[in-house]
Amino acid sequence: MKRTDRSILSRIFETVLISVVAIFVASCMPENRITPEHLENGKIDYHLEKMDFGLELLPNIAILGENKVVIKIKDPSGLAIEDAHLNLSATSTLPGMKIERIEVNHGEKGIYEAKLHYLSVGQWKLTVAIHRFGDREIKHIYLFDVIAHS
């Protein structure tokens, strides 16, 4: 191997190593992480700066099969927000389980509904991302338990 080839390989290795370290450091930064909250009785309400937000699982104790998620969004004055776009994703916390993704683009009177299908019992994770034109995305993660039957 020529001396020039070694020098080029050395530079490539150095660049790759710096890139890997930068990616590792960025992934460890806490500001990008969202702490999941455990849903108690299948319901939670928030009062945020730009909106009031409520989420409810129906039935309140999630069971195997088809279930409904109802999300209610209002502005701080109490008026329904009908122009939000919601992205929901649900998956079991067991490794290798399929992620179900659903988009909800219309919320008549500020009520957004989606049907989710739980394929196994145990703990599940629901991620809700709310998008409105001109506003920053609001994202929440919830943990809840799915049982065989009520």
The torsion of the CA quartet 22, 28, 33, 35, rounded to 10 degrees, works out to: 170
Measured CA to CA, the distance from residue 68 to residue 50 in angstroms comes to 26
Pick the CATH number of 36-147 from 2.60.34.10, 3.40.50.300, 2.60.40.3340, 2.40.128.720: 2.60.40.3340
Q: What is the pLDDT of residues 73-86, one digit of tens each?
A: 999 899 999 999 99
**CA neighbor of 127 nearest in space, from 71, 67, 60:** 71
Q: Which tokens belong to 67?
A: 């279930």
Q: What is the pLDDT of residues 112-134, one digit of tens each?
A: 999 999 989 999 999 999 998 88
First to last CA, the chain: 71
Backbone angles phi, psi at 134, to 5 degrees: 85, -5
- Domain ranges across the chain: 1-33, 36-147
What percent of the chain shows pLDDT beyond 90?
41
140 within 8 A of 127, measured Cβ to Cβ:
yes
Cross-strand bridge partners of residue 113:
70
Report residue 12's pLDDT band, with 50, 70 and 90 as the boundaries.
confident
Q: What is the pLDDT of residues 15-31, one digit of tens each?
A: 877 777 667 665 554 44
